[in-house]
Amino acid sequence: MNKIDYLRVSLIDRCNFRCQYCMPEDAQLTYVLPQDLLSDQELLTLLREVFIPLGWRKFRLTGGEPLLRPGVVNLVREIASWPETEDLAMTSNGFLLSQMAEDLYQAGLHRLNISLDSLQKDNFDKIIGHGSQTRWNRVWEGIQTAFKVGFDPLKLNVVVIPGVNDGEILDLAALTIEKNWHVRFIEFMPIGNQQLFGDRTFIPSGLLRQQIRAQWGLMESTVKGAGPAEVFKIPGSRGTLGFISQMSECFCDRCNRMRLSADGWLRPCLLNESGQLDLKTDLRNGVSLEQLREKVRQVLILKPEINFQERESGTDTGIYTRTMSQIGG
């Protein structure tokens, strides 16, 4: 059985972008009310007193856009200072990084994934919505700053959307030739707004690899914190290419992660609502830390079953109504 020691922690469900596949502009999204967000103290208590004693050692801060959370640098400093923390990483859209990368690094965050779905500004606008080209420039500047500051590995996440950015695979892959950057192609998931891209479905990672192999060749490789990604590299390149194929290849059997939403729900599986726990309400109602640990321990025991529940029972319709920003992507 997999050791479950990786928690994705959503710091906030709001975002300063409106990616069409995540928080489309015309979607009626409901946000967590400020009083329902886990406070810094509640969040730190849950991590330190509930998750760490149960064996969690790896944390990824995400959202929404985690850099919008007030006090994010202090949260990073605190989590990074615990001797039990083996790995602390963040996924960000990069927009605020040029001004925050240095402080985050000094506070103890050394691994970053930055979303960059396109190198073409007009394509980027199509994807992030209410676009202005300055947004792409800011993200690019954020990536350069993070690289200079020393984030390593620096990963760039690309959600591949058929008919939108699939013509850019080789250009994006080429970023890894000169620089020690790690580009990860993620299969587009029908999560959140399904009408959005009409009948367009995901492009299997295998097809992307074929395209890249035909251009430069491809060899197996590794990178820290690869998670479910299959990692390759272009021979002679400095960086790597990761492929996350949650649609074409089920990796539920290897899943070692759970998610904590910004309003304190523990979610054992991205695609399945079974086994969720409302830790914030319990904490506020005075449930003891020992009882909370026991509840989470029970979810840990059930997780392997939960991972496969809907897929195997046939109740998985392939349509998931909550967005990644709401779940804590």
Q: If contact means CB under 5 to 8 A according to the sort of partner, which of ligand SF4, ligand SAM, none does residue 23 touch?
A: ligand SF4
Residue 157 lies near ligand SF4 (rule: CB under 6 A): no
Rg of the chain (C-alpha set): 19
Whether the ω angle into residue 24 lies within 30 degrees of 0, i.e. cis, is no
Nearer to ligand SF4 among residue 244 and residue 283 (C-beta): 244
Q: If contact means CB under 5 to 8 A according to the sort of partner, which of ligand SF4, ligand SAM, none does residue 191 touch?
A: ligand SAM
How is the chain split among helix, strand and coil, in percent rounded to 5?
40, 20, 45
Count of residues that interact with ligand SAM, criterion CB under 6 A: 20
Residue 15 lies near ligand SF4 (rule: CB under 6 A): yes
Residue 165 lies near ligand SAM (rule: CB under 6 A): no
Q: Please select the residue that binds ligand SF4; options are 12, 22, 175, 212, rule is CB under 6 A.
A: 22
**Given strand 111-115, what is the order of strands in its sheet?**
219-220, 230-233, 240-244, 181-187, 154-160, 111-115, 87-92, 58-62, 6-10, 257-260, 265-267, 277-278
Q: Smallest gap, in angstroms, from Cβ of residue 295 to ligand SAM?
A: 26
Burial 172-181 (b: 16+ CB within 10 A, else e): bbbbbeeeeb
Residue 325 lies near ligand SF4 (rule: CB under 6 A): yes
Beta bridge partners of 88: 59
Q: Smallest gap, in angstroms, from Cβ of residue 197 to ligand SF4?
A: 14
Residue 23 lies near ligand SF4 (rule: CB under 6 A): yes
Q: Please select the residue that binds ligand SF4; options are 5, 10, 61, 64, rule is CB under 6 A.
A: 64
In the shown chain, the binding pattern of residues 178 to 197 toward ligand SAM, with x for contact by CB under 6 A and - for none, equals: --------x-xx-xx-----
Nearer to ligand SAM among residue 85 and residue 92 (C-beta): 92
**By CB under 6 A, what part of segment 88-107 binds ligand SF4?**
93
Cα gap 254→300, rounded to integer Å? 14
Closest listed residue to residue 271, CA positions, set 259, 280, 279, 285: 259
Question: In the structure encoding, which two tokens stand for residue 259, read together?
Answer: 């998610």
Q: Which residue is nearest to ligand SAM (CB)?
A: 329
Q: If contact means CB under 5 to 8 A according to the sort of partner, which of ligand SF4, ligand SAM, none does residue 92 touch?
A: ligand SAM
Closest listed residue to residue 312, CA positions, set 263, 235, 252: 252
Three-class SS state of 111: strand
Residue 19 lies near ligand SF4 (rule: CB under 6 A): yes
Task: Give the interface segment with ligand SF4, choosing from 35-43, 63-71, 179-187, 220-228 (CB under 6 A).
Answer: 63-71
Nearer to ligand SAM among residue 62 and residue 85 (C-beta): 62
Q: Please select the residue that binds ligand SAM; options are 4, 13, 38, 93, rule is CB under 6 A.
A: 93
Q: Smallest gap, in angstroms, from Cβ of residue 287 to ligand SAM?
A: 29
Distance in angstroms between the alpha carbons of the first and the last residue of the chain: 24
Phi-psi region of 71 (alpha: psi -120 to 50; beta: other; left: phi over 0): left
Number of other residues whose CB lies within 10 A of the CB of residue 64: 28
Residue 21 lies near ligand SAM (rule: CB under 6 A): yes
Cα gap 5→7, rounded to integer Å? 7
- Give contact residues for ligand SAM (rule: CB under 6 A): 15, 21-22, 62-63, 65, 91-93, 115, 157, 159, 186, 188-189, 191-192, 324-325, 329
Residues that bind ligand SF4 (CB under 6 A): 15, 17-19, 22-23, 63-65, 93, 115, 324-325
